[in-house]
Amino acid sequence: MADIKIIGSSLAAIPWQDKPANCPAPVWRYSENPIIGRNPLPDVARIFNSAVMPYGDGFIGVFRGEQRNGIPNIYLGRSSDALHWEFEPEKILFTDENGKPFMPLYAYDPRLVKVEDTYYIMWCQDAFGPTIGVAKTTDFKHFQRLENPYLPYNRNAVLFPRKINGNYVMLSRPCDNGHTAFGDIFLSESPDMLFWGRHRHVMGKSDNWWENLKIGGGAAPIETNKGWLLFYHGVVNTCNGYVYSIGAAILDIDEPSRVIHRCENYILAPEEWYEERGFVPNVCFPCAALTDADTGRIAIYYGCADSYVGVAFTTIDELYEYILAHDKLWEGDDTPGRR
């Protein structure tokens, strides 16, 4: 077994199913997927591409709710087991620094990360073009928006769960104004969550068929004694449209713009009906992961076909061994990403 450990807290209540005997892959799906179906709220047709984490005696999450008017926004959900969710009927009310309502025109694909004593939500919004919005909360009752970290155009932002070398660190994927047919993962740093710089290239698309169009960050990186475990999505353009799969890589613990290991195989691709059939077919889109440092268990939350939320399981030992067995770096991966 690989000598790898998750650095973090224990989570005895992490949702879990043992690996099926006939499963050859390093990641396996929850047998009751999807955990969130269509029409979960009166004015919300679909929930997908959402993020969850432990909170209090249970779990809390920020959810992409596709409203019936076609405008996406972010809703709050709570759960005792991270599988069965109850949602607040109204979208999250964001305020400015003076406590006045300050709502984005739209908001989608949120991530949720705790750094020290504060919870941060990141999402894609309009700022004269698509870019990243950020808000903070300490109680999930008041949500204050911060300054946008980037100019348009940008998507798929996610914070690291702790400061590195004294700075906040965020991954993002610069893009264009449309359904981008390109994209690499970049890293930026900030001393205060307001001013962002020291931009570095982390990793780009590859010649692997499943990620040869574009890639983007997924769940918050998971700290281990071997580096940061990153789940990300890779996209290929087929004769029937885009296909989104989930990949995995290990980033340097102190210089995470440098890739140490990168799995040339996807770890999860659309195969089940809820991943292949939906509003946007053939999508597995990771946005969150729960971990238990004691057992090494990992539960990955991912959007399915822009219509549902699914959960998949793995362990840090099994996944790390799979990454090493299929390790392939591409040009620039193992550099600091500075030019």
Q: Where does the pLDDT of residue 2 fall: very low under 50, low under 70, confident under 90, or very high at 90 and above?
A: confident
Name residues whose C-beta falls within 8 Å of residue 290's C-beta, 6 or more positions apart in sequence. Answer: 11, 14, 15, 52, 53, 54, 59, 82, 298, 299, 301
Residue 195 reports pLDDT greater than 70: yes
Return d(Cα 72, Cα 45) in angstroms, integer: 10
pLDDT in tens, 36-64: 999 999 999 999 999 999 999 999 999 99
**Paired tokens of 309:** 């939320």
**What is the domain range of residue 181?**
38-326
- Digit-coded pLDDT (tens) for 229-260: 999 999 999 999 999 999 999 999 999 999 99
Please give the tally of structural domains in the chain: 1
- Residue 200 belongs to domain with CATH number: 2.115.10.20
pLDDT at 205 over 70: yes
Whether 28 is covered by a domain: the verdict is no
Does 339 reside within a domain? no
Q: What are the tens digits of pLDDT across the range 6-41?
A: 999 999 999 999 999 999 999 999 999 999 999 999
Sign of torsion, CA 146 119 251 217? negative
At residue 110, the pLDDT reads 98
Has residue 114 been placed in a domain?
yes
The band of 1, judged by pLDDT with boundaries at 50, 70 and 90, is low
The CA distance from 248 to 174, in Å, is 20
Q: Is residue 9 part of a domain?
A: no
